């Protein structure tokens, strides 16, 4: 409740061969013993995540990964987990053991990072055991064509310079568009409709609602938070109509009926579709619902794991709405957390959650995979608005998405 959520942090991943000093480096960067350090190669198995702040970047997540040169059947699984981290990496650190130098392993991974437009910094580690020759360092720099910093993770020599380089090379646009800040100005009133039901966490609001409130406050605007049953009274008590009404997707139908037609209306999920991904792609995915027919396969993907309620949105409500729309049975499959398949050709539609627990790069990766496979993808909020016939209205703040819906 007090910390910046992982999905809103810059993701910095540390890559390298086994025993190059990746875990020691993450400990040096965080000034904590976060990762297990050992002289035995292959100590790190699953990725290790640590939240911290690097000013002036702000909140970041540093990810320690298994060696890219791991061996054997289990090693291959570790390497696969390491490569999956690329899908969420905003900035990469390539750790090079000064004694081992640069090999095809580093060259191949740097090529993949560049292919994905991920900025990467080379970190020549273990200089406490001897400085590499200047000519050798120059050769590595030319071979990889990336900036290099020499450090000792053990003594922390060069770590501050590495942080300066991380600040310099961090992508400027990693956060993407604001949640709603560009839709309002100082002094505007924004009404946020937040249903409280059995699925709501005790004592707190869900993450998209909290982040939206913060964005309203950051714009010097006024946030009015109500349950859907209080919306009519809240609107009547305001001296002037609100600039914007934002609702939880599951209350769309009721809120649309209560909110006057001249008041701009949208949802948390649609705001996050733009904030975390590509709203136009998701709207195009909604239009594909009309082409579904009984027997088609639908993948429902969620970015986190949670305890499912009796009338769960992903396993109960959305399947019910889609089958009512189609007029027959559909075949549903579900994935959650970090799992997102690449063999998507078998599906006629992908339905994704609002991605509040994913960072923007990972959500964009998932959208790109779906586009590459030619499978339409939509998120919960866009789908709910579409099947209830109010998507045109809630897209009014977003003209480009509205044009996609209208086929223009």
pLDDT bucket at 398, cuts 50 / 70 / 90: very high
Token readout for 272 is: 């996050």
pLDDT at 38 (0 to 100): 46
> Who wins on pLDDT, 128 or 53?
128
Question: How far, in Å, CA of 330 to CA of 294, rounded?
Answer: 5
pLDDT at 320 (0 to 100): 96
Q: 277-406 has which CATH code?
A: 3.40.50.11410
Are the C-beta atoms of residues 181 and 244 closer than 8 Å to each other? Answer: no
Average pLDDT, the chain: 87
Strand partners for 59: 53
Q: 181-270 has which CATH code?
A: 3.40.50.11420
Q: Per-residue pLDDT for 170 more than 80?
A: yes
Are the C-beta atoms of residues 384 and 331 closer than 8 Å to each other? Answer: no
Highest mean pLDDT among 42-46, 183-187, 253-257, 313-317: 183-187
The CATH 3.40.50.11420 domain(s) of the chain lie at: 181-270
Token readout for 151 is: 């450090």
Question: 207: how many CB neighbours lie within 10 A of its CB?
Answer: 19
Residue matched to tokens 């209830």:
388
pLDDT at 5 (0 to 100): 61
| Tens-digit pLDDT profile for residues 353-362 | 888 788 888 8
> Who wins on pLDDT, 46 or 103?
103
pLDDT at 1 (0 to 100): 39
3-state secondary structure of 218: helix
3-state secondary structure of 88: helix
pLDDT bucket at 40, cuts 50 / 70 / 90: very low
6-169: CATH topology is: Rossmann fold (3.40.50)
| Tens-digit pLDDT profile for residues 218-262 | 999 999 999 999 999 999 999 999 999 999 887 888 999 999 999
Name the phi and psi angles at 267, rounded to 5.
-130, 160
Mean pLDDT, rounded, for 30-51: 62
pLDDT at 3 (0 to 100): 58
Highest mean pLDDT among 20-29, 123-132, 281-290: 281-290
The CATH 3.40.50.300 domain(s) of the chain lie at: 6-169
Mean pLDDT, rounded, for 281-310: 88
| Tens-digit pLDDT profile for residues 101-120 | 899 999 999 999 999 999 99
| Tens-digit pLDDT profile for residues 373-383 | 999 999 998 99
The CATH 3.40.50.11410 domain(s) of the chain lie at: 277-406
Mean pLDDT, rounded, for 118-131: 92
């Amino acid at each position: 409740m007090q910390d910046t959520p992982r999905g809103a942090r810059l993701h910095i991943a540390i890559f390298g061969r086994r025993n190059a000093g990746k875990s020691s480096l993450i400990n040096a960067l965080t000034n904590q013993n976060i990762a297990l350090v050992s002289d035995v190669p292959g100590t790190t198995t699953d990725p290790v995540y640590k939240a911290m702040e690097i000013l002036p970047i702000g909140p970041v997540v540093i990810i320690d990964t298994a060696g890219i040169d791991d061996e054997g059947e289990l090693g291959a699984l570790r390497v696969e987990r390491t490569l999956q981290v690329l899908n969420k990496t905003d900035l990469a650190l390539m750790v090079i053991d000064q004694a081992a130098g640069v090999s095809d392993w580093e060259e191949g991974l740097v090529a993949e990072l560049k292919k994905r437009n991920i900025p990467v910094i080379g970190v020549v580690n273990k200089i406490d055991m001897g400085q590499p020759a200047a000519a050798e360092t120059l050769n590595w720099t030319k071979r990889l064509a990336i900036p290099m910093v020499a450090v000792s993770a053990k003594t922390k020599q060069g770590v501050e310079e590495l942080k300066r380089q991380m600040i310099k090379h961090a992508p400027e646009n990693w956060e993407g568009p604001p949640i709603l800040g560009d839709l309002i100005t100082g002094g505007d009133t924004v009404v946020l409709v937040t249903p409280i039901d059995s699925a709501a966490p005790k004592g707190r609001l869900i993450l998209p609602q909290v982040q939206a409130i913060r964005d309203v406050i950051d714009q010097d605007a006024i946030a009015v938070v109500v349950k859907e049953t209080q919306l009519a009274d809240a609107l009547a008590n305001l001296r002037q109509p609100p600039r914007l009404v934002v609702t939880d997707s599951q209350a769309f139908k009721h809120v649309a009926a209560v909110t006057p037609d001249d008041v701009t209306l949208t949802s948390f999920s649609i705001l996050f579709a733009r904030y975390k991904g590509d709203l136009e792609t998701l709207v195009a995915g909604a239009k594909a619902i009309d082409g579904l027919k009984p027997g088609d396969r639908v993948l429902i993907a969620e970015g986190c794991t949670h305890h499912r309620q009796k009338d769960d949105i992903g396993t109960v409500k959305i399947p019910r709405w889609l089958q009512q729309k189609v007029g027959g049975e559909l075949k549903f499959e579900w994935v959650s957390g970090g799992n997102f398949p690449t063999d998507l050709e078998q599906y006629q539609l992908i339905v994704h959650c609002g991605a509040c627990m994913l960072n923007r790069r990972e959500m964009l990766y998932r959208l790109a995979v779906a586009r590459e496979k030619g499978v339409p993808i939509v998120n919960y909020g866009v789908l709910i608005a579409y099947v209830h016939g109010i998507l045109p209205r809630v897209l009014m703040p977003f003209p480009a998405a509205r044009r996609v819906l209208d086929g223009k």
